[in-house]
Chains A and B, each alone.
Chain A
Amino acid sequence: MRGFIDLWLDIEPDEVEKAIDVGHKMGYTAFGLEDHGFNWRVKKLRDKKITLVKRITLSEEKESKLKEKLRGIKLSFPIVSVKPQSIQVARFAARDGRVDTIIVDKDTAMYIDKTQVLMVKRYRKVLEIPLEEFLKANDRAKAMIYRRLLLILHYNTPFIISSRARKWNKIHHPLSIISLLTSLLDLDNKDLLLHNISGLPLEILVKNGVKV
């Protein structure tokens, strides 16, 4: 059976257990949990065969501050994501080896242009689209993200879909994600989207030394 991976859950520690239960029912094998003071780096739940990985999302406007924050970050966080607040930070994040994903949401979509998309592809980075942020955004922001998605597909740049669920009931079923995106982007190729929620996130985890 194909295991699905959601690399961004933004859940409080008391709700993690419930979220894992739900994720297990949906067929997820790994979750990336935003740091809320967890005392582990990678945690394996053997009874449910689920791997939990700690992640951090850095939101910066200045390149120098991001550089400072990135120093030694991989020791405590296997997955590092950047939410660029300026074009310089977006370009730097695409080049830097410690950054795994660059987030595309309503606040950062304006910095994702053709050059950025090509840079991400060239430096083998991955763009991350949080589904909850997309569904929550207003109409104009949704259209902006949609255009970025078309750009990403046009240049064949790798991207992953994460949920950024803040509660256990905000986790999306993998089938729902695929159905939503196929109808949104008029795609016939479901395998590509399957790769974006299972194969590509797995590659990121393996690259960072996490065994799933």
Chain B
Amino acid sequence: MNIVDLILYIVVIMLSLLVTYLWWSLSKIKRFLKIITSKSLIPRQEKDFKIRRRYIVFTVISEHNISKRELEKAIREVVKELYGIIGLTKSDPQIIFYDPSVKRGVLRTGHLTSNILIASLSSVDNINGKEVLIIPIKTTGTLKRAKKYLYMIRE
């Protein structure tokens, strides 16, 4: 074999290796660019900011009659005491339905803050000097389902 042939062989092999490496790195760059330019990141971010509603069905145990307004005020006070103003702002508990005849109701909050509200409910033990206890029964995603649970579970 001639020396020139040998050098040629080596050059050809080196070139083919280089081309393979370039092709591989290009595909990597392409993949990277695809991730950056893809729109999949944007909806995910939007999804995180979107607050989904949660409805907490609760029952009040008390010998006294308690109005909806008194109850909401007491819950808000306890949330503020336990989690501060930021916790209260984030959770924003609202009693959207309360039936005094069965002493049950539905509280509305966000999906990220339902834990805050459940934790606070048991700490409500006194409303205007009346002894009470609030028990969370079920957390649902729709009001329809919450109302179903409201009358379904009876002691």
A-side residues, CB < 8 A to B, are: 22, 25-26, 135, 167-173, 175-177, 179-180, 182-183
Contact = CB atoms under 8 A, between A and B. Distances in A.
Interface string B92-135: 00000000000000000000000110111111011000011101
Contacts of B136: 173, 175-176
B155 interface: yes
B133 A180 contact: no
A167 B131 contact: yes
B42 to A, nearest CB: 27
Chain B, interface residues (CB within 8 Å), range: 20 to 34
A167 B125 CA distance: 10
A164 to B, nearest CB: 14
B125 A22 contact: no
Given A171-B133, A175-B136, A183 B122 contact: no
Provide the main secondary structure of the chain B interface.
Answer: mixed
Provide the main secondary structure of the chain A interface.
Answer: helix
Contacts of A182: 115
* A-B pairs with lowest CB-CB distance, top 9: A176-B122, A180-B119, A179-B119, A179-B118, A169-B133, A172-B122, A169-B125, A179-B115, A173-B122
A37 B126 CA distance: 28
Contacts of A169: 61, 125-126, 131-133
13 contacts: A25-B61, A169-B132, A170-B125, A173-B121, A175-B118, A176-B119, A176-B120, A179-B116, A179-B119, A180-B119, A183-B83, A183-B115, A183-B119
A201 B83 CA distance: 29
A26 B134 CA distance: 10
A199 B116 CA distance: 24
Given A22-B61, A169-B61, 7 more contacts: A167-B131, A171-B122, A171-B133, A173-B136, A175-B118, A176-B136, A180-B119
Given A25-B61, A167-B131, A183-B115, A176 B125 contact: no
A83 B109 CA distance: 40
Contacts of B121: 173, 176
